[in-house]
Structure 1
Amino acid sequence: MVSTTTTLAVTVLTLVCFTGLGLWYVRRRGGVRDAEEFVSARNSTGTGATTATLVASVMGVWILLAPVEAGAAFGGLSAVLGYAVGEALPMLAYARLGPRIRELIPEGHSLTEYALARYGPAMYAFVLLVSVFYMFVFLAAELTGIASAFELIAGVPRWQTGVLVGGFVLLYTSYGGLPASIFTDSIQTVLVLPLLLVSAVGAVLVLGGPAATYGAVVATDPTLVDPTFFTGLRFGVWVAIAILGAELINQTWWQRIYAARDTETLRRGFRTAALVNFCVVLLAGLFGVVARGVADVVVTGEEYNASIAFFVLLSEAFPESLVLGVVLLALLLVMSTADTLFNALASVVTADLPRLLDDPDDRTLTWGARLLTVVVAVAAILVSLRAQSVLRLFLLADLFGAAVMVPLLYGLYSRRATGPGMLVASLSGLVVGLAFFQSPIVRSALEALPVVGPRLPPADFLFAFVGAAGVSAVVAVLAARVADATYDFDRLATTVRRFDDHSGERVDAVDEPAD
């Protein structure tokens, strides 16, 4: 175990450096001029910065937890491949969706603005709930993950890690908004990728080289390195759908669609990020395969510890110098995601302030965004200090995303998609997904229902996520076919406007989609 003092010293030094860099960058730019810049940094990033912020925003400390657990307990290499594909798919999807979003909503800020303007208040409320729930769970899970990891490998009290990481990241994000986040993301990406590669190479060398490591894994379970292993492939399919659904309702990516300098920059950035994210998740997941072969990783029963397989491997096999390198890596990972989520959550709510207040000025919007960032940060820190299993909420949040992704985005292409029809489609997919969802809490709640309980099908994540996505997509298409509405896409550009534009039709004036 690394000493608590050394770990805290590395933590504080890293946090101070990045907080200082974020504040310096914003002050050098003359501060954040208005709410527009705070939440969108519109048309400000080139291809390199766009790619870097996309990669950094994905690479949270979760990559040392979830893909590693997949490799150790859910099918080895084939499961890891599915996880990596799942992380690449959303980037490829946004490379196509992003230009369409910029074309139809050139002055937009958030997916909730689009949902309200395109579908009306009912679908908007549902999308807002799902998106905020997912992002908050993601943020709380990140802080919980880093606190749990530092407690395991260095005995650092959870509250110290949560308060330090959350507090320092809050300092520069609440002051500098999205511009500060994108700048620090670029630096974090440059540092994280080599650190991850060095950690992987160092681990293999410590374990005796590639041949010895491979032999140990094969001796433990040959299916771990079989890319055609059915159990792993099955896991890979449903987890890819789960991740795709979650990321398509993640405000993080909508912000970066508008931050890119132009459409071509957007396309190149998302495509490059897809490749990098695939490689990063694949590499991280392989730690789980290795851990299963050489460390005391338990994948069944009460002693199950595959969820922290990476840190089990770390504590058993790595020298202190390599452990400190991983501590730095984990810190950079959680910072790169936490600042992104702080901004994304603040931007969603800030975009709604003009509908809640009577024509607020720019100063009100900017300070409102900062205040909401503080509230979100404090709430996430408190959750991370108390929750032991918040990571389990990820799959439930993913299920909501899988159910809503097609109905939400279908309106970018179909003129006949209506708010009531897409809401019914989303809820239909969600009902099917919940019926199969493999969670003791959800399952017991459904089984207690007098009519539904006895008729529930066997729990299965594959059917849950395929059902949620497939049923919602089919119902969305059918609902659009029977609808007699014809939406005018030009309305999106007039109802969703910049915060400082007080002309034209207000987005809150939309009660129902136009016929």
Structure 2
Amino acid sequence: MPADAAPFLAPGIAWALVVLFSVLWIALGIVWGRRGKGDADDYMLAGRNIGLALSTATLMASWVTGNTTLLAPEFGYRTGLWGMFSYALAGLGLILFAPLAVRIKQLMPHGRTSGDFIRLRYGRLAWWVFMVITAVYTLGFLMTQAMGAGLLLQALSGFDYHVGMVVVIGVSTVYTLFGGMRAVIGTDFIQSLLIMVLLAVVAVLAFRQFPMPEVHARLISTHPDRLDLLLPAGLLIAWNSALFSMGEVFHNNIWWSRVFASRRSVVMTSFVLGGLAWMSIPLVTGSIGLVALARDLPLEQVNMVFPVMAADLLGAGGAALVFVVVFASLTSTLDSLLASTADLLAEDVYFRLLRPQASDAQLKQAARQMVVGLSVLTLALSWPRLDSLASVLFFTGALVASTVWPVACGLYWSSANRWAAIVAMAAGSAVGLSAYVLIAPYCAAVFSAAVSAVVMVVGSRWQPEGFDFNRLQEGV
């Protein structure tokens, strides 16, 4: 957005909305936090008794980022149907993880983190490789969300970049710190409802004013290439999006913590429903991008398609609606990242590596300290702006896609070899990063996952390892 362009929402209204929702999230976080037992397991995993509605909502809300509500319309506007569909395919990560989630719950009923699985299944060296990949991905994801918060709130309301970033991270940190996983899941439930309802309002209004047949006819006459479902680049981007999302979900402790926190009877259903619910978001917002394209809507900055359309349809009310959606999207992702990463560091590094004699109270305190430490580190790394947030995400995709097959094979094959897992993650990451640099960023995850799969399968077939799955319950 040009520096001299007027924001979509008056700063006074924006500040009122920020104060309103910040107070609401923090108050709810404190209240929900006090309902728990007070031990580390309750703080980190909400008592392991989350039902279907809360489990589905937190999965969907954690996967909805500021990118989902703003980049999906841009993809639809820039590349048409494939842009919209390829972004929506990221929901496959949650859906395909559903059967693995049931398996995890069965094999590790008392597990806490994804690191627990890698350490027990493949050993300490594989754990180190996995943790390096996780650290790079998590810091990259935290940075994109923090910088996205600053940039989006600045574009929408005129907030200073650093002020917007500090506000969003600060609010997410406070209620996560006090309420732990209960606060994260509870606020995610409300945030998911807000996002779904408000996006539906914009979409309904858009297609009431500009019916789909009219939009289709206009695109056929002016941009027929945007409706081509055989576009080679679109197919490649779609594959990359699906594999990238699988890597993100299969390895990241956000989703493993949801498995451990949910009741066994609802785990599979919640992941399937959460993935389907999430896929509706980029499809709805991407279709709004198609409407804007059909109308030849003038745009000073193409990633502002959604705010421009909302303001065009609803005036100041539409701008306020977009602001609430973006604020809820950012906080729902940041709280999950902070909580799950803090749990991973507290459990795998502090407890398992540094202080195995730590008490339950010390483990809980370590998790809380990790939340604050991660917030401070994220602010420090995100203070200078980067030119491209998407490049950071594509870079991490080359790494996380290499973990898909070691995780999947390790859960089902007793013959999955630890050295094959180590080489699969290392080789997949190396090839994926090479493809990122030498070919194109959006194909990195495809190459990484392909190489990892070949290494994992061939290595395990060549030298099978007889693993006893009962060992996954040891030391957890």
* TM-score for both structures, normalised by structure 2: 0.91
Could you list the per-position Cα deviations for residues 402-426 of structure 1 after superposition, in whole angstroms to 9, with x for gaps in the alignment?
Answer: 1121123311122222322211122
How far apart, in 1, do the equivalents of 2:237 and 2:443 lie? 11
Could you list the per-position Cα deviations for residues 300-350 of structure 1 after superposition, in whole angstroms to 9, with x for gaps in the alignment?
Answer: xxxxx4444434555677611111111111111111111111111111001
Match of 2:252 in 1: 250
Contact 2:307 2:318 in 1 (8 A): no
Could you list the per-position Cα deviations for residues 131-169 of structure 1 after superposition, in whole angstroms to 9, with x for gaps in the alignment?
Answer: 232223222212222321221232111122111111112
How far apart, in 1, do the equivalents of 2:157 and 2:219 lie? 27
Q: 1:100 deviation in Å?
A: 0.9
Contact 1:41 1:258 in 2 (8 A): no
Deviates more, 1:463-472 or 1:89-98: 463-472
How far apart, in 2, do the equivalents of 1:390 and 1:229 lie? 25
Secondary structure of 2:411's partner? Answer: coil
Structure 1 counterpart of 2:355, from 357, 370, 374: 357
Q: 1:103 deviation in Å?
A: 1.5
Match of 1:488 in 2: 468
Could you list the per-position Cα deviations for residues 5-62 of structure 1 after superposition, in whole angstroms to 9, with x for gaps in the alignment?
Answer: 21111112111112111212222x1x55111111122431111111111111111212
Contact 1:220 1:292 in 2 (8 A): no
Q: 1:254 deviation in Å?
A: 0.3
Match of 2:375 in 1: 377
Matched, 1:70 2:66: no
Q: 1:478 deviation in Å?
A: 0.8
Aligned-residue CA RMSD in angstroms? 2.2
Match of 1:414 in 2: 413
Contact 2:69 2:281 in 1 (8 A): no
* TM-score for both structures, normalised by structure 1: 0.85
Secondary structure of 2:82's partner? Answer: helix
Matched, 1:168 2:177: no
How far apart, in 1, do the equivalents of 2:317 and 2:464 lie? 66
Contact 1:72 1:289 in 2 (8 A): yes
Match of 1:266 in 2: 267
How far apart, in 2, do the equivalents of 1:414 and 1:68 lie? 41
How far apart, in 2, do the equivalents of 1:378 and 1:284 lie? 32
Structure 2 counterpart of 1:335, from 331, 336, 339: 331
How far apart, in 2, do the equivalents of 1:339 and 1:284 lie? 23
Match of 1:502 in 2: none
Could you list the per-position Cα deviations for residues 215-247 of structure 1 after superposition, in whole angstroms to 9, with x for gaps in the alignment?
Answer: 554454122234444432332122221222222
Q: 1:213 deviation in Å?
A: 4.5
How far apart, in 2, do the equivalents of 1:480 and 1:133 lie? 27
Q: Percent of aligned positions with the same letter in both sequences?
A: 27
Contact 1:56 1:189 in 2 (8 A): yes
Contact 1:245 1:399 in 2 (8 A): no
Change in 2 beyond 3 A, CA 1:231/1:164 = same
Map 1:34-73 to 2 at 5 A: 34-73=39-78
Could you list the per-position Cα deviations for residues 76-112 of structure 1 after superposition, in whole angstroms to 9, with x for gaps in the alignment?
Answer: 112311221222x122222100111112111111111
Change in 2 beyond 3 A, CA 1:217/1:323 = farther
Contact 2:399 2:433 in 1 (8 A): no
Change in 2 beyond 3 A, CA 1:16/1:409 = same
How far apart, in 2, do the equivalents of 1:277 and 1:359 lie? 41
Contact 2:94 2:246 in 1 (8 A): no
Matched, 1:319 2:318: no
Gaps spanning 5+ residues in structure 1: where?
Answer: 299-304, 438-442, 444-457, 498-515
Match of 1:344 in 2: 340
How far apart, in 1, do the equivalents of 2:253 and 2:192 lie? 20
Secondary structure of 1:415's partner? Answer: coil
Secondary structure of 2:111's partner? Answer: coil
Contact 2:105 2:259 in 1 (8 A): yes
How far apart, in 1, do the equivalents of 2:171 and 2:444 lie? 39
Deviates more, 1:388-397 or 1:100-109: 388-397
Gaps spanning 5+ residues in structure 2: where?
Answer: 1-7
Structure 1 counterpart of 2:189, from 180, 186, 189: 186
Deviates more, 1:148-157 or 1:252-261: 148-157
Change in 2 beyond 3 A, CA 1:484/1:243 = closer
Q: 1:210 deviation in Å?
A: 4.4
How far apart, in 1, do the equivalents of 2:169 and 2:443 lie? 37
Contact 2:129 2:425 in 1 (8 A): no
Match of 1:296 in 2: 298
Contact 1:403 1:429 in 2 (8 A): yes
Matched, 1:476 2:456: yes
Matched, 1:7 2:3: no
Contact 1:137 1:393 in 2 (8 A): yes
Q: Which amino acid aligns with 2:469?
A: F
Matched, 1:285 2:286: yes
* Structure with more helix by fraction: 2
Matched, 1:150 2:153: yes
Structure 1 counterpart of 2:83, from 71, 79, 86: 79
Change in 2 beyond 3 A, CA 1:140/1:318 = farther
Contact 1:188 1:332 in 2 (8 A): yes
How far apart, in 2, do the equivalents of 1:462 and 1:6 lie? 38
How far apart, in 2, do the equivalents of 1:287 and 1:433 lie? 33
Q: 1:117 deviation in Å?
A: 1.1
Structure 1 counterpart of 2:227, from 219, 225, 228: 225
How far apart, in 1, do the equivalents of 2:379 and 2:290 lie? 31
How far apart, in 2, do the equivalents of 1:273 and 1:44 lie? 17
Contact 2:66 2:145 in 1 (8 A): yes
Contact 2:72 2:286 in 1 (8 A): yes
Change in 2 beyond 3 A, CA 1:220/1:382 = farther
Change in 2 beyond 3 A, CA 1:484/1:363 = same
Contact 1:147 1:158 in 2 (8 A): yes
How far apart, in 2, do the equivalents of 1:311 and 1:146 lie? 15
Q: Which amino acid aligns with 1:98?
A: A
Contact 1:80 1:236 in 2 (8 A): no
Q: 1:70 deviation in Å?
A: 2.2
Match of 1:368 in 2: 366
